[in-house]
Homo-oligomer: A and B are copies of this chain.
Amino acid sequence: MPQLTVALDMMGGDYGPSITVPAAAQALLLLPELNLLLFGLEDELAPWLSRFQLDCHPRVQVQFCSQQVGNDHKAAYALRHLTDSSMRNALDALASGRASACVSSGNTGALMAMAIKTLSTLPGVDRPALITRLPQVGGGYALLLDVGANISCSAHHLVQFALMGEQAAQHTLDIAQPRIALLNVGAEASKGNEAVREAGLRLAELSGLHYSGYIEGNELFSGRADVIVCDGFVGNVALKTSEGVAKLLLGQRIKSGFLSKILTFWLKKRLSHLNPDQYNGASLIGLRASVVKSHGSAGSPAFLNAILQAISEIEHDLPASIAHRFDTAPQDSHAR
């Protein structure tokens, strides 16, 4: 196997190094071929590195930075002024080829803006999209995009997301001919807003793409589609709503007692496939390299999952597949 190096922004998310460092240590234990580049503020990061003996680990390089992107920083501000942030340095490492993928649990808007600036989108791709996996009722996963990188989308953007999602499903879920659906408020052709209806018409015309029409929110987990396309506002709300319901059920208080403890254990086991920790890690796709966005509230196992997802994307070389699809396959020929 060629050298496998992942750049990690250790500062993002709600908990910073207290969860990113244990996850990094675990990833190094699991994967003997893995190298990590770690970026963070010295004051906060160093104590944790020392505690987990990553300060002198042979497969770890640490680069301390002077800045950190906050959740309330606007993307434009972060892009212009936070050029020595851990997020920006991790992306720069990717752009310069020192790493093959990057993971951050920081501010999505800033990550998107910095990733476009440092990595550029692939030829033909207008906007990267944030894509995530959804567990399905019969087992397996579907992909949902966009889940928050693009708040307003035209029909043209939705069509591009469909093409990128198709490649992601083929190469990361191993589905030869993924069924592509548009998330809408009804199944009938007249339903939805103009962008969704127009995207539906264009997708139906695209040869070589398996477009299966509209699906509604209650079908996100039904196994009816392999790739579900929507704008980033709707996708973000849908994803977070499903997480909210799952957490509500997992977190319900139960009376004490032996039987209740057994029941709670059993319930948590049954619901575990809906727990965001199990499928943490949305990828920003359509860029020249793999960038994985971990959930801001991710715990250590969830951040580890995001690292493993980044490694899987390196192995599948998803950017190359998307570039090939946009370069050679029949595409949306309409004006934007």
Contacts and interface: CB of A to CB of B under 8 A. Distances in A.
A241 B263 contact: no
Nearest to A248: B221
A185 B217 contact: no
A333 interface: no
A217 B233 contact: no
Interface residues of A, number: 49
B190 A74 contact: yes
Contacts of A14: none
A217 B237 contact: yes
A109 B184 CA distance: 14
24 contacts: A71-B188, A72-B190, A74-B190, A109-B191, A137-B251, A151-B185, A185-B232, A192-B233, A216-B237, A217-B236, A217-B238, A217-B241, A218-B247, A234-B237, A237-B238, A238-B241, A241-B245, A242-B245, A245-B245, A249-B249, A249-B270, A263-B263, A267-B267, A267-B270
Interface of A: 71-72, 74, 109, 137, 148, 151-152, 183, 185-186, 188, 190-193, 216-222, 230, 232-234, 236-249, 251-252, 263, 266-267, 270-271, 274
